[in-house]
């Protein structure tokens, strides 16, 4: 990856931007709409939302404004949403997909994910995603927050291998076993909460390395993601942060410093543990 439009080729041949905007915990409204529009005008091409975020309508408005301002086409963007736990099931997942499209005011999604591996429900939801994919209603399908044993269970009956597994990922939670599993199965890893909701920005080592490379702590962490071959979607609503987060393609972290960052791992989560979560 050498610029904001650089892509990763997924296992079905679809190209997905390696860097994008996440909108978790961004309330629907003017700030969100402006952030999505601004991101597109800056050069972002990937926007990630979910039904549970309650902001798909605002994301859709921001997309339309961004397209209008830039003259881009819908197909120039890569839009992701996710089906929530309450809607997991064959028919209910199909309905949830249509509802997300309605709110976003889009004709299709580029990527649709199962948000959490709810036991006893995710297999039927996956069957629905396979149907949507075969019908050409979505360009790629995947999962989120799946551990290897969840994927093993899914793959027993799946006819299509997930293209993506989006998981919490940052230097305090490197999930090396998950990363190795995904590489072995041709599934692309994607990071949510790459900045650990800002908690990592004040870490002494990250601040030290930021000074060494003449970058910000956020840029160091996001560059670490990119060099680990992990797609990343940091959240921000402020124009200067959107620009700053994207300015990570003009430097490279040395192998030694990459290891120092990876060695910060404590298996520490800021979000729920997929194996110990009351769905």
Residues tagged active-site: 53
Strands (E), the chain: 7-9, 15-17, 21-22, 46-48, 78-83, 109-114, 138-144, 164-168, 188-192, 231-232
For residue 164, what are the β-bridge partners? 188
Q: Scanning the structure block, which residue is given the tokens 């080729």?
A: 9
Q: How far is CA 34 from the centre of its chain?
A: 20
Rounded distance between C-alpha atoms, residue 96 and residue 102, angstroms: 10
For residue 232, what are the β-bridge partners? 19, 191
Rounded distance between C-alpha atoms, residue 110 and residue 125, angstroms: 17
- On the CB side of 85, CA atoms within 13 Å amount to 10
> How many other C-beta atoms can be found within 10 angstroms of the C-beta atom of residue 149?
12
Q: Is 153 exposed, middle or buried (0-12, 13-18, 19+ CB in 10 A)?
A: middle
Backbone angles phi, psi at 263, to 5 degrees: -70, -5
Length of the chain equals: 279
Residues ≥6 apart with Cβ < 8 Å to 168? 145, 175, 191, 192, 193, 269, 270, 271
For residue 188, what are the β-bridge partners? 164
């Amino acid at each position: 990856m050498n610029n904001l439009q650089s892509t990763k080729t997924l296992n079905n041949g679809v190209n997905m931007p390696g860097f994008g905007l996440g909108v978790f915990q961004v309330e629907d409204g003017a700030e969100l709409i402006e952030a999505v529009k601004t991101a597109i005008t800056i050069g972002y091409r990937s926007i990630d939302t979910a039904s549970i975020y309650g902001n798909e309508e605002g994301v859709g408005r921001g997309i339309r404004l961004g397209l209008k301002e830039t003259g881009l086409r819908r197909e120039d963007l890569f839009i992701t949403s996710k089906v929530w736990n309450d809607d997991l099931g064959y028919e209910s997942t199909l309905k949830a997909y249509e509802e997300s499209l309605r709110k976003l005011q889009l004709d299709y999604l580029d990527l649709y994910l199962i948000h959490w591996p709810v036991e006893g429900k995710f297999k039927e939801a996956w069957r629905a995603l396979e149907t949507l994919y075969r019908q050409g209603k979505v360009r790629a399908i995947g999962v989120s927050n799946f551990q290897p044993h969840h994927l093993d269970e899914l793959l027993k009956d799946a006819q299509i291998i997930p293209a993506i597994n989006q998981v919490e990922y940052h230097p305090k939670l490197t999930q090396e076993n998950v990363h190795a599993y995904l590489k072995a199965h041709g599934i692309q890893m994607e990071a949510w909460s790459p900045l650990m909701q800002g908690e990592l920005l004040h870490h002494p080592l990250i601040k030290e390395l930021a000074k060494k490379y003449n970058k910000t702590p956020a840029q160091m962490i996001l560059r670490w993601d990119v060099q680990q071959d992990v797609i990343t979607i940091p959240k921000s609503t402020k124009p200067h942060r959107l620009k700053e987060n994207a300015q990570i393609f003009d430097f490279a972290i040395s192998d030694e410093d990459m290891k120092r960052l990876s060695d910060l791992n404590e298996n520490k989560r800021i979000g729920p543990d997929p194996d110990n979560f009351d769905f």
